[in-house]
Structure 1
């Protein structure tokens, strides 16, 4: 009976038994094969391949010459006006009345035949990827990628900047609210500062608008933006631009894959942060962690390769380059300025004046005659507004009726700057002093934030509210007490005994006038006396008659 073996194993067993002395007839009986099979096993080193059956005819065969002709014409057609599988199928139905065929049949045939026709025409394969060797310190790649985070409880789309050295694979990342020119510049400055130098060769880029003003119609020539040309020449960067579209993505495949790796390994699950500054601190730590990984089958880690590459980088210039963009808007009657479709508040004293605004990737700074007067986080939306309540306090203290409905108040509540403690104290102050005076008292408390920390003011409000002290002076005094307690706790030795919890003591409030008197030095002067003035009194006669003029001593 024939054993269940593969053909190669069968041939090997027949040759082994034949060398042991078995005859061909005995081999036929043992393995249940014909003498031709035994003969082939003894004569051939490897079994002959199975004969291919002729292809079965299909209903597509009559139309294959038509499809080939369409594909041949595509060789000289514009890239965006060539036949797709769907277009070929539609033409066979409409122009040639094809029957009995399906779209899947046409698509399968074109998937194989298109490359064969290109080879037959001498055009070669459609894409050839040639392995590259990168020398240390010579080349780098730059790109942006999308990432999603939860910023202050809101799902937000941000942009991940990546600068990757081609030799070592060392990459530096930065997250920005936009992928504009400011983010592009600041990402370079951060990356070059971390790396300690710039590549001596070319840096590969997409044709992004931050760098390229116009893609010229020949070779790889580009018309760069003026600020980008000034920036890259300042840092000594030699740019190389990839082909537009998906066709050029493989020309900087290292950074494309790096962004995907970084996003999958560090942004899953989606990070929840309070600010982009907090997120970028996390990104810096992740960059250091990634130095310990190995890329594919490399013998050493990224950090070990970077240690070889770092000394070969080009030194950085000592002068700084301003990465922000300058605007000079005019402050309107709402105490706001318009910067790139968004509006930001400034102090009300600047209404009607022209200010200077330096717009950065994640924030903007407002200057008045060289002095910083406002700083905001940059809005990534369009037609948005970011208002600071502190900028309107001088106007609100004159118009307290506008305070409850102020947009700046609602934004302060959303940002957590106007806390429930503020709201409770305000409610109690209005109940005690009336709406107008109670609101003015709250605004006076808010003005304290210009020279006291927010945490100490909230502590002062809570203490004053428990004690029923509904004046700004009382809140100021309790806030100073909280600040002094924090300073004392910070300066106390670690083994010092901790004070009793504040919740166990009854809240007490010292008014500002009493507090000032208690801090005056002790008065050592004697008490005043009126005895010297008694000498000026007139002496009376023994009979009770008054003394005459000149008799008084």
Structure 2
């Protein structure tokens, strides 16, 4: 059986979230996980792989081990490459479409499970029956949930903007120069105040984008208090031109 997950990035939060989703789907945890390389969950220094703090906590929580293949060693990861190619050819051609990443991943899982009905070329029984036997060796799932998030200390500038991984997020001018905490997951950046109370959540950006990430709903109350800020408000670009003329 082969299962996959789609994410916008290759960060530790994305990898760990994908592993958690797959473990939940199959109903157990492998004793050992083999990775093609350490992208996102660690870095390779000479012959040693140093895993990220989030992935290290995930391994302890799920009671599993991890092993990383060596670069330029195709004989170590042929099965992995075969599984990736199989999923790409059978589930990503033609390119799937959906209204959200969750919808695409649900379809990805449904398609992956469907292949279990096929007959194994050697054992002449359904693949899902062989997989059911394999699952008897899995570790049980943790009884307590695991949060696949990392925390970043951040101080907004005078305009209330914080920077996470080279992308800018607007918290609000009222939080300028305050010591805040950002809870970063695979899809959200949640900003917490000094007492760790949530301020707002914004969609996470991957890569480097010049556009400011903000919530229009959080800016409207500020404009009500300070209407003179309308000329510089980033929400202007989301307002129809006819409404802009009326507001001037």
- Kindly indicate whether the alpha-carbon contact (under 8 Å) linking 2:2 and 2:87 is maintained by their aligned counterparts in 1: no
| C-alpha displacement of 1:222 | 4.1
Deviation at 1:325, TM superposition (A): 0.9
Cross-structure match for 2:28:
197
- State the shift of 1:427 in Å: 6.8
Separation of aligned partners in 1, 2:82 and 2:25: 21
Distance 1:193 1:225, change over 3 A: same
Alignment pair present for 1:289 and 2:120? no
- Corresponding position of 1:370: 196
Higher strand share: 2
SS of the equivalent of 1:207 reads coil
In the superposition, relative to structure 1, how do residues 409 and 171 fare at CA in structure 2: closer, same or farther (>3 Å)?
farther
Residue deviations 1:129-160 (CA, integer Å, cap 9, x gap): xxxxxxxxxxxxxxxxxxxxxxxxxxxxxxxx
1:206 lines up with 2:36 in the alignment: yes
2:151 maps to 1:326: yes
1:59-98 to structure 2, matched below 5 A, reads none
- SS across alignment from 2:55: helix
Write the distance in 2 (CA, Å) between the matches of 1:406 and 1:175: 34
Determine whether 1:173 maps to 2:4: yes
Change (3 A) 1:365 1:263: same
How far apart are the structure 1 equivalents of 2:203 and 2:125?
Answer: 41
Quick check: 2:59–2:65 contact (8 Å CA) kept in 1? yes
Distance 2:115 2:236 in 1: 44
SS of equivalent residue, structure 1 residue 352: coil
- For residue 408 of structure 1, what is the aligned residue in structure 2? 235
Aligned partner (choices 205, 213, 220) of residue 379 of structure 1 = 205
Query: Do the aligned residues in 1 keep the contact of 2:151 with 2:183 (CA within 8 Å)?
Result: yes
Give, in whole Å, the separation in 2 of the partners of 1:343 and 1:327: 14
Q: How many residues align?
A: 246
* Distance in structure 2 (CA, Å) of the matches to 1:399 and 1:222: 52
Query: Do the aligned residues in 2 keep the contact of 1:364 with 1:377 (CA within 8 Å)?
Result: yes
Q: After TM superposition, give the deviation of residue 215 of structure 1 in Å.
A: 4.3
Q: Determine which of 177, 184, 188 is the counterpart of 2:15.
A: 184
Q: Structure 2 matches for 1:366-515, cutoff 5 A? A: 366-368=191-193, 369-384=195-210, 385-400=212-227, 402-403=229-230, 406-410=233-237, 413=238, 426=243, 430=246, 435=247
Q: Which runs of 5+ in 2 are unaligned?
A: none
1:260 lines up with 2:90 in the alignment: no
Distance 2:157 2:219 in 1: 13
- In structure 2, the CA distance between the partners of 1:395 and 1:286, relative to structure 1 (3 Å rule), is same
Task: Compare the two structures and name the one with the higher helix fraction.
Answer: 1
Q: Find the counterpart in structure 2 of residue 457 from structure 1.
A: none
> How far apart, in 2, do the equivalents of 1:189 and 1:319 lie?
12
Deviations 1:518-548, CA, capped at 9 Å, x for gaps = xxxxxxxxxxxxxxxxxxxxxxxxxxxxxxx
Shift of 1:382: 0.9
Partner of 1:309: 134
Deviation at 1:379, TM superposition (A): 0.7
CA shift for structure 1 position 302? 2.5
1:238 alignment partner in structure 2: 65
Contact 1:330–1:355 (CA under 8 A) maintained in structure 2: yes
TM-score (norm 1): 0.41
**C-alpha contact 1:348 1:395 (8 A) present in aligned 2:** no
Question: In structure 2, how many angstroms separate the alpha carbons of the residues matched to 1:198 and 1:290?
Answer: 21
The answer for the alignment partner of 1:125 in structure 2 is none
Normalization by structure 2: what TM-score?
A: 0.85
